[in-house]
Structure formats: structure tokens, C-alpha cells
Amino acid sequence: MSRNYFITGGAGFIGSNYVSRLLERGENVTVYDNLSRPGASRNLAWLQEKFGKTAFQLVVGDVRDAALLTASSRLAEVIVHLAAQVAVTTSVTHPREDFEINAQGTFNALEAARLNELKPVFLYTSTNKVYGGMEDIKVVEDTTRWRYADLPLGCPETQPLDFHSPYGCSKGTGDQYVRDYARIYDLPTVVLRQSCIYGPRQFGVEDQGWVAWMIIAAVTGRPLTICGDGKQIRDVLQVDDLLDAYDAVIAKIEAVKGQVYNLGGGPENTMSIWTEFGPLLEKLLGKPVPVGRGDWRPGDQKVFVADIRKAERELGWQPKIGVEQGVGRLFEWVKANKNLF
């Protein structure tokens, strides 16, 4: 039986991939998006071309508009809150806008869920940035990467929160509100602290979506700048694996409501942002990729690898798409769609 899904940010990278999946299996979908992000209108056009303009409902709206958000989500049985300001650098330059979109926007979405008589499932896409710089965790420098000295399986959900940067503060505020609404109002909410997500339909830019951005820059001949020493390690997760986790959360909501999960590639799917990714990209491209060098960014972790054992244990989920396979797929998509960039 189909359900009513309400996806904020549904024309974004993750959103459009999820909307496509939901429509393919016959769900009823409302996309709520202000279409301000680079690529949003292109993703929307792709969805309409693939499924038809009447296959889903579109509300062109902003999460800062509480009244519109509440009115348009009143029939929702599942709310997936993806809409966000997503760049640390933008948050530093425009902290008020970042707060209003991420903290207040998430509060508005939660209130819409609380006022909805259907008591919808509520998924919130948080971020590994809520753990801050993790200065208390010792890291070791190897030839091509940094690594945790004492966390071989990565950072667990029990790592103390340490919001660093306005982006970390605003997303972290939403994170804690969503968690608490499960306790205080018995709403079926789940917080998903996501690592680096990558995949097709990602219109990455320099300060957000680094895997896609570097591939796009390499394929289209745009200048690339590496901030820091290029040995920063991230666990990366292909978008289809991420969406499998969303489906698992929704299917098991009675058992997992109120929980927080790290969702990333985990220790098996890590790479350094240039000393390891660079050679892989050059191999795919078939030629060297020239890069410039820049300073470290504020709050940039030398290492972030998510410990994903809680999600594996409680959701029965684990990543299936390895780094080389996933990056290869994204590279081919960018190459085949150069006209979009």
C-alpha cells in the first residue's frame, strides 16, 4: 500500500534520487523545495521528464515559511527533512541566513509534524560536523592520510557533541530538537548524522559536495584548489546505499524512533581528499589534474570516519557500493552529462 511522503529539499541531490526511488515503487510524493540550489531546477526537470509532471506534487516553498510548510504537509505520513544550507564557508559569511534555514527551518518542519494528526515518521539529515573538530581524539599522520590513533572503527554516536562553525551550530540545533521531539511529544523521529554522500545528480560546488565537485572540475577543466594538506580522511557513502538506510529506518520506525545513527561509508570506504582521491581521478580521466593549494578551512577535521556499527546492528543495513565502483559511476555520469555543468 502506498504512503504519502513529503520531502523537503526534494529537488536537491539526495532528494531527487529519493523521489525517483519512491515514485518507481508507487508512493505518493510531495516535493517541497524553493529551487534555490544549483542544479535543483535541472533535477526537477529530470524527475518530470522521467515520471511526468503530474506524477508528484510540487510545492515551491521555503522552510522558513512555517505556515506554508504546515499546510502543505498535513497529509504526510512520512516527512524526510533534507532542505538545508549545506556549506560551512557560507555559514561563516552569512550566519543569520544559515541559522534561519537550518535551525529555524528544522524547527518549522518539526512543528508541522507535531501539528499533523497523522503523526508522521520524521527523518532528519544531520551531519558529522556536530562532532566538531574532535580535538580530543589523537590522530596519526601516514604517507597518504591521517588516521585515528585509537578509534579503528571510527567515531561512534557517543562521541561528545561539539558544534564548530555556524553550520555545525545550526545543524546541531536541529539534531537535538529532532531527538527531543521523540521524547517530549512521542513523535517518531530519527536523526541521521551523515558523512560525505556522493552520487549522480550531485551538482557539487567548491565548498560542498567535494567528491562531485572535484570530478566536475577535472572533467570540465575548471580550476581545483586543495585546502589543507590533502591527506584529510573521509568516509564516503554512495547515495543508493544512503537511501537503503532511509528505507530501513522507515520500515523499522517503531523499534528505532528517537534514535540517532551515523550513516557513512565506515572504515571500509575511506579516502583522503587528494593524496588518494587524486590518483584515482587521474586514472579515470587518463591525464594529470593540476591543482592549486589553499589554507585549512575553519573546523576542518583531519579525520572523520563514522563508526556505523549501530546502524548495521539495529537497521540491518550496511554499505554495498565500494569507493572505486561508486566514484567510477559518478565519473561516468558527469562525463555523460557535461552539458549540465
pLDDT digits (tens, 9 = 90+) for 82-107: 999 998 889 999 999 999 999 999 99
Active-site annotation holder among 5, 124, 148, 167: 167
DSSP, collapsed to helix, strand or coil, labels residue 328 as helix
Mean pLDDT of 327-341: 95
- The terminus-to-terminus CA distance of the chain in angstroms comes to 39
Residues 6+ apart with CB under 8 A from 95: 166
Confidence of residue 314 (pLDDT cuts 50, 70, 90): very high
Give how far Cα 259 sits from Cα of 127, 190, 256, 307, Å: 15, 5, 6, 15
Using the structure block, give the residue that is written with the C-alpha cell 508541522: 112
Confidence of residue 299 (pLDDT cuts 50, 70, 90): low
C-alpha cell at 182: 521523540
Longest dimension (CA), the chain: 58
Q: Kindly report, residue by residue over 52-79, the tens digit of the pLDDT.
A: 999 999 999 999 999 999 999 999 999 9
> Would residue 131 show up in a list of annotated catalytic residues for this protein?
no
Confidence of residue 9 (pLDDT cuts 50, 70, 90): very high
Domains detected in the chain: 4-340 (3.40.50.720)
Helix ranges (DSSP H) in the chain: 13-24, 40-51, 66-72, 88-93, 95-98, 105-114, 165-184, 210-220, 239-251, 253-256, 277-285, 309-315, 323-336
Query: Does 164 have pLDDT greater than 90?
Result: no
Residues 6+ apart with CB under 8 A from 224: 214, 217, 218, 289, 290, 291, 292
What pLDDT sits at residue 208? 81
What pLDDT sits at residue 257? 98
Q: Which residue has the higher pLDDT, 76 or 301?
A: 76
Q: Kindly report, residue by residue over 106-130, the tens digit of the pLDDT.
A: 999 999 999 999 999 999 999 999 9
Using the structure block, give the residue that is written with the C-alpha cell 596519526: 140
What pLDDT sits at residue 204? 84
C-alpha cell at 306: 563514522
Give how far Cα 34 sits from Cα of 9, 44, 201, 273, 330, Å: 8, 11, 17, 31, 26
What pLDDT sits at residue 247? 98
Query: Does 339 have pLDDT greater than 80?
Result: yes
